[in-house]
Structure 1
Amino acid sequence: MTKLSVVVPCYNEEAVIDSFDSEIRRVLDGLPVDYEVCYVDDGSKDGTLGRLRAIAAAHGDRTRYVSFSRNFGKEAGMLAGLRESTGDAVVIMDADLQHPPELIGKMLQLYGLGHDQVIARRNREGDKKVRSALSSLYYRAVNSWVDVELSDGVGDFRLLSRPAVDALLALPENNRFSKGLFSWIGFDTVTFDYQNAQREAGETKWKFGALLNYAMDGLISFNNRPLRLAIWTGGVLTALGALYTLWIVIGALIGGVQTPGYVTLVAIIVGLGGVQMTMLGLIGEYIGRIYYETKRRPHFLVKESHGVDPRTGEPQPMASVAERDGR
């Protein structure tokens, strides 16, 4: 029998986590699989961790969780869940019920046909029109730049085979952009569409600023073309500057030196200064990523955990950082 692991990153999901757990177990109990649910508490500030403790106590060896020492972000949460998972196949999904648990059955059917990645792609019905338009524009633009293909509507909700999970865990980078990593590892992939669902409770964690930073990560993480663009932009501006200088010199030789030109000079200085600052910021972004990679810090720190040690297969009771360190 196939063993399925369901990885669920959580951040401030106290209002919905019990509903999610009841729904996911209702669905999984009706499928011909052995399963485990692996929760990752990403440093929640509400009562999420307390609810996970209660869920783990109620469901024993079919529930595992880890709790971070602080908020490390969803990328770290997914990585921790993949490391904790022991199943032949792993489903990654959110706890807010926007990823319908009923689709797991269809994922397993497609997995049984030999696919290593089964991706659920949502439509954008119910989203704000401006946000949908900007998202579509972003994916069209970014796919002309990056070295991997990113699809609009495709997120983290997917099933991965054990070989695909192992491939992801073998990638050591600190700056992780999972959408790109999922595409980069390849493997046999199939995609199906599903109806967009609204949050069951709580508020979205993806505000405009977070989405903007995420978009920048996607643009920079899988190519160096912006740096090439900086080189070409610098070359074009140098050529234009030389032509402008030649025009000024010829004009002075023919008609003499004229006083007007202050506005033009200021515009050129401000424009070139803005271009230079943009290029320096771009180069700095790449250097900053190199800086963080060289530190070799762990992706996250675990404050508390409960479940099965994936290295030994032995039961692993709830433990705090102090207990593990012998304090």
Structure 2
Amino acid sequence: MTTHLTQTKPPVLSVVLPVFSVVLPVFNERESLAELHRRLSSVMIALAEPYEIIYVDDGSRDGSGDLLAAIQQNDAQVRVLHLSRNFGHQAAISAGLDHASGDAVIVLDADLQDPPEVLPALLAQWRLGFDVVYAVRRERKENLFKRSAYDIFYRLLRQVANVEIPLDAGDFCVLDRRVADVLRKMPERNRFMRGIRSWIGFRQIGVPYNRAARFAGQPKYSLLKLLRLAFDGFFSFSYLPLRLASLFGLLVSFLGFLLSVWTVYKRFTLPEFPSGFATIVVGVMFLGGIQLIALGVIGEYVGRIFDEVKQRPLYIIGERRGFDDERQAPDA
């Protein structure tokens, strides 16, 4: 009697891919993380769909990275990317997008100024077929100076940009999978994500919301960082600064020509017409100032070209947690 042994194949475990991926750049937000995760998890659980939360630790120095590691240990839906140093808010968003696998990718800040409770309203528009749903700030709980600066910046950028960038729309948004894939392929280093998001097109809609005050801590965007972000917006999406430099040059040359004609005329009509030292000094300083401004504008564009030519990675990952591959990774 022959006995046939039948080999049984091990059961294939089905991997449930997330429907939603939430990307949160984190820099020195230890005081807000516990409350943020509690509120965000409540909202995501209520959606009753598979999800993942990707925290990107952008080189925090206040212990945020250790707290994120603890949160990840206690929540299987959490993934953590630890960048090797602080690469900046926009680079941290890009790192999260590169590792998000959901059908819809949600981007919001970790300081609770973007309330997680607004997410269902944004996702409702995504379910209606919109590829990009961005949150529009109806109110800002910030001081008058900062509110005024933001208002001026957004309205000025809207006028000079070569694409239509929505007013008062920050990085808080929902991106369809195909939009996230397009953003991942964008190679530029000096990133202004809300501008790139407008540039790519697709079906987009805004949802108004009231921007809350910070839950705790101090703003991480200093005046210098805000100015740098504003410059990225202007110089990445407008050639107007270069054109203004050319127009200033033409205007100054024309004024110089008129002044020379006037000087010759006065010399012939007034034999004792005095030559003024002050006029020379003012003229030299005025021309020098215009030249320096023009060189500075050109330098901003050349600096960005230099960044692109070097082809350095946008960010470097020091460690992954919660992903299938958790090894330390020096590559981007």
- TM-score category, normalised to shorter length: over 0.9
Match of residue 89 from structure 1:
104
Q: Alpha-carbon deviation of 1:321?
A: 4.3
- Structure 1 alignment gaps of length 5 or more: 309-314
Please name the residue that 2:57 is paired with: 41
Aligned amino acid, residue 139 of structure 2:
R
With normalisation by structure 1, the TM-score equals 0.92
Distance in structure 1 (CA, Å) of the matches to 2:151 and 2:40: 31
Looking at structure 2, the residues matched to 223 and 253 of structure 1 have their Cα atoms a distance apart, in angstroms, of: 47
Distance 2:301 2:140 in 1: 36
**Structure 2 unaligned blocks of 5 or more:** 1-16
Judge conservation of contact 1:124–1:153 (CA < 8 Å) in 2.
no
Post-superposition Cα deviations, 1:164-190, rounded to whole Å, max 9, x if no partner, equal 101111111111111110110111111
Q: 1:15 aligns with which of 28, 31, 41?
A: 31
Q: Is the 8 A contact 2:317 2:329 kept in 1?
A: yes
Matched positions, count: 315
Task: Give the secondary-structure state (helix, strand or coil) at the position aligned to 1:316.
Answer: coil
Structure 1 letter corresponding to 2:50: D
Shift of 1:124: 3.0
Whole-angstrom CA distance in 2 between matches of 1:125 and 1:231: 38
Residue by residue over 1:180-228, the C-alpha shift from the partner in whole angstroms, topping out at 9 and shown as x without a partner, is 1011011111111111211111111122222122111111111222112
Amino acid at match of 2:36: F
User: Which has the higher mean CA deviation after the structures are superposed, 23-32 or 3-12?
Assistant: 23-32
Runs of 4+ in 1 over 6 A off after TM superposition: none
Structure 2 residue 320 is matched with structure 1 residue 316: no
The answer to whether the Cα contact below 8 Å between 1:123 and 1:193 also exists between their aligned partners in 2 is: yes
- What's the RMSD between the two structures over aligned residues? 1.6
Structure 2 residue identity aligned to 1:80:
A
Q: 2 CA distance for matches of 1:210 and 1:79?
A: 18
Q: How does 1:1-327 map to 2 (within 5 A)?
A: 3-60=19-76, 62-308=77-323, 315-317=324-326, 319-321=327-329
Structure 1 residue aligned with 2:11:
none
Deviation digits for residues 80-120 of structure 1 (CA, Å, limit 9, x no counterpart): 00011000001001111111111111122111100111111
Letter in 1 for 2:223: F
Deviation at 1:127, TM superposition (A): 2.5
Matched residues in 2 for 1:18 and 1:142: separation?
A: 36
1:257 shift after superposition: 4.3
Q: Residue 19 of structure 1 aligns to which amino acid in structure 2?
A: E
Q: Alignment identity in percent?
A: 37
* Higher Rg: 2
* Aligned 8 A contact 2:133 2:204 in 1: yes
TM-score normalized by structure 2? 0.91
CA distance in structure 2 between the aligned counterparts of 1:72 and 1:126, rounded to whole angstroms: 27
Q: Which residue of 2 aligns with 1:312?
A: none
Could you tell me how far 1:250 is from its partner in structure 2?
1.2
Q: Secondary structure at the match of 2:322?
A: strand
Q: CA deviation at 1:268?
A: 1.1
Query: Cα offset for 1:125?
Result: 4.1
Q: Deviations over 1:16-70 (max 9, x none)?
A: 111111111111111121100001000011111101111111112x111111111
Which amino acid in structure 1 is aligned with residue 70 of structure 2?
Answer: A
Distance 1:50 1:2 in 2: 25
Over 3 Å counting, the alpha-carbon distance change for 1:21 and 1:9 in structure 2 is: same
